[in-house]
Structure 1
């Protein structure tokens, strides 16, 4: 798990593995990663050698990444440009998730694939935490300028609503369970993140 810090540990590693395994099934095409950040997943996508890779973020750490403040700007790309859009652990940071979903649909080609993930606030630990604390772990801050910058806890039902209402067909739902015993139970009970794979309706 080289390149992943200890606090992130297995969870982010296995999340990226789920997304990479999905991308390995895909044909060549144009791919947009929303908010590549520290470029860990960006580099792994590049190593697949099958995508023309584009990105947008508030920090541009690669020549292929365009500046974009996702809270205020439209995505800086033309309509129906991309075969694939990947958005890992971003939507929970955004003021208006509906707008982001609509923008990702806009830049996708008809039939194009979206891979999107967010923290799984429906897992058992988070439910119990909320019962006693009144908020979800990672979303307890009173100001936006904090370490996690999580402001929008989105459960799987809301995520499916966002996608369905914006004209996406849901192809699969996956969770990044990290321990063997977790596989004995429904994955939504323990998965740290939920990954939804959808396609833009034709």
Structure 2
């Protein structure tokens, strides 16, 4: 028996292996659930004339709406340059590699970007505060930062956890064991907001209601107003993800 098992080369990134990008690419662009959030972002900033950075861009699938509205200055940063060609084909101007977002600098100058988006990245990081500090550094004063992280434990998921003892309450990674589960941090709404405030970010909009998780109610479109109100009041209990649009101070 092999006493020193090794990972295949494509799986050496222990927090987000290349196979997950391949699975994401199977999602059709019409099923991109992040588009409503980006439309909200577009109400706050002129995306067409903004310089945008996508931290943890992957293949660029989820942020494509920014390109569709005419943004020609969209850049990406990721540890997987194997997939950069797909982001470039979608319209990204450039994708730069960062070996480890936990410790490395984002390879851009201070005060470079008008908008930074970081979707589903912080749950993979051991040292997310370093990444927040780097995002702040490369974001212009007055620029906006859109952050999205999953919430594994709204009330419906807590009930499921009681019966399954499975932290993957939304079945993000059905084929992974606890030894290989890619999410290594689990977030709470108020604590997330407090950390951002410590880095001199102020809340512009809480967009977590786009991911409302209220049993029976969420499935009915005509109940959107109710879902929004309840999720805004109790995000920890009724949001499947925390989506915060914040602005960097210093104007």
Alignment TM-score, normalising by the size of structure 2: 0.67
The structure having more radius of gyration, on CA atoms, is: 2
Identify, as 1 or 2, the structure richer in strand. 1
Does the alignment pair 1:33 with 2:54? Answer: yes
- The CA deviation string for residues 140-195 of structure 1, in whole angstroms up to 9 with x for no partner, is 95435x4xx11111111121121011110011112223633763341234432221
Cα deviation for residue 22 of structure 1 reads: 1.3
How many residue pairs match? The answer is: 193
The answer to whether the 8 A contact 2:202-2:247 is kept is yes
The answer for the alignment partner of 1:196 in structure 2 is 244
The answer for the alignment partner of 1:160 in structure 2 is 193
Q: Give distance in 2, aligned partners of 1:201 and 1:142.
A: 39
For the aligned residues, what is the CA RMSD? 2.7
Paired residue for 1:50, among 71, 89, 112? 71
Identify, as 1 or 2, the structure richer in helix. 2
The answer to whether the 8 A contact 2:201-2:247 is kept is yes
- The CA deviation string for residues 29-50 of structure 1, in whole angstroms up to 9 with x for no partner, is 2110011112212432211113
**Secondary structure class of the residue paired with 1:179:** coil
The answer to whether the 8 A contact 2:77-2:98 is kept is yes
Q: Which runs of structure 2 are paired with 1:132-171 in the superposition (5 Å)?
A: 133=165, 135=167, 137=169, 141-144=177-180, 146=181, 149-171=182-204
Cα deviation for residue 131 of structure 1 reads: 4.7
**Secondary structure class of the residue paired with 1:71:** coil
The answer for the alignment partner of 1:23 in structure 2 is 42
Unaligned regions of 5+ residues in structure 1, if any? none
Greater relative contact order: 1 or 2 (C-alpha under 8 angstroms, separation 6 or more)?
Answer: 1
The answer to whether the 8 A contact 1:169-1:199 is kept is yes
Q: Give distance in 2, aligned partners of 1:125 and 1:14.
A: 20
The answer for the alignment partner of 2:155 in structure 1 is 124
Unaligned regions of 5+ residues in structure 2, if any? 1-24, 213-217
